[in-house]
Structure 1
Amino acid sequence: MKKWRFLGIDDSFDETKCCVVGCVTCEGYVEGFMYAEIEIDGLDATEKIVGMLKKSKFGKQIKCIFLPGITLGGFNLVDIQKVYEETETPVVVVMRRKPDMEEFDSAMRNLENYSIRKRIAERAGEIRKAGKLYIQTAGLSFDEARELVGAATLRGNMPEPVRIAHLVASAIIHGESRGKA
């Protein structure tokens, strides 16, 4: 079987800073990390993720990017279609719970650039149930996404690179890891 490298991305933030950590794994082994900072409730998450991947030595080797939602740093939305278009790397959003889109939309209305955020959220596409997770995809089919989620998950439900990225990001901001990815 071919070895696949996965990139899991997660964030952590406080009142002043938001860090985004990317964890590269291959067959469950950590091979490397990426790091960026984004604006809390900003609109730079997409460009920072694309930049991280394009600058990385792993960039062309990544089979799939996993995100734990389309928002980082509060409401800094990731345009998963644009990430796919600019990197040619498929993106799978994995969530433990299906978001309440009416509540999500209502919260976005309180921020600047609502129409831009709304368009990014709509471009993320349909949220579909996949086992115990809910997923959105860019650059691959639902069935392919389910297969990759399974291949990247060692135990529990969350792909291992997302889980590790979460642990590292929260330790950077809070001094120790906390919460679940």
Structure 2
Amino acid sequence: MHIAKSGLRVLGIAESYSGREQSTLAGVVMRKDLLIDGAAFARVTVGGSDATEAVIRLFTGLGRKDVNLLMISGNVIAWYNIIDPAAVQTATGLPVVVVTYEESEGLAEEIRRHFPGDAERLAAYRRLGDRVPVRLHTGYDLFIRPCGLSTEDAAMLCNDFTYEGRVPEPVRVARLIARGVVRSSLCGGSAPDDHDR
């Protein structure tokens, strides 16, 4: 992957809660010049263990061979449903950068409290490892977990895709779309199928 390539495409993925049982994932394909040229959706179980599968399903449903990287907003979504970036990379063949925005002491104690005895969920969280802080050109800090590319390349891509603030555009737009879909379904509109794009 040539990270300086102007036509490089990132699939940004973010979620919005859509109910007590399921949450909505939106994915947006964005070029390095910030042009959007694709979108897809998936469902993930609140409190479940299917987040990794949902991310892979969203990517597969797009049917795109020109995506160069997946950028995911958060490893722990939908009430402690954990995304495994290494499994996503293996399944898609693409590097993955997970981005978060705040400092944290970690979620191990919260997972123990909400899911007592769930050793696999706790192990999945611990396998994520530490986040790496990145200072963006906007002056804000971002925290990343890169998988399949160097920390330096991941930081450069986050910088290239951040227009203002601390949230890179692919995941910012994906989050807006996910929220819009949730609002639409709450107002009586129909929620999208996984393969709508």
Give the TM-score, by structure 1 length: 0.88
Aligned residue identity for 1:136: R
Q: Deviations over 1:1-21 (max 9, x none)?
A: 621100111111132431110
Q: Which residue of 1 aligns with 2:155?
A: 146
**Hey, what's the Cα distance between the residues in 1 that align with 2:91 and 2:54?**
12
Report sequence identity in percent. 27
Q: Which residue of 2 aligns with 1:179?
A: none
Runs of 4+ residues over 4 Å off in structure 1: none
Q: Deviations over 1:13-33 (max 9, x none)?
A: 132431110111012011111
Aligned residue identity for 1:40: V
**Hey, what's the Cα distance between the residues in 1 that align with 2:52 and 2:25?**
11
Give the TM-score, by structure 2 length: 0.81
Aligned residue identity for 1:91: V
Residue aligned with 2:36, SS = strand
Report how many residues are paired. Answer: 173
From 126, 129, 135, the counterpart of 2:144: 135
Residue 79 (str. 1) matches residue 88 (str. 2): no
- TM superposition shift of 1:175: 4.3
Residues 6 and 161 of structure 1 are in contact (CA less than 8 Å); yes or no, is this contact kept in structure 2? yes
What are structure 2's unaligned runs of at least 5 residues? 136-140, 186-197
Higher-Rg member (1/2) = 2
**Hey, what's the Cα distance between the residues in 2 that align with 1:167 and 1:113?**
35
From 62, 65, 70, the counterpart of 2:70: 65
Aligned residue identity for 2:86: Q
What are structure 1's unaligned runs of at least 5 residues? 177-181
Aligned residue identity for 1:119: A
Aligned residue identity for 1:70: N
Residues 94 and 136 of structure 1 are in contact (CA less than 8 Å); yes or no, is this contact kept in structure 2? yes
Residue aligned with 1:144, SS = helix
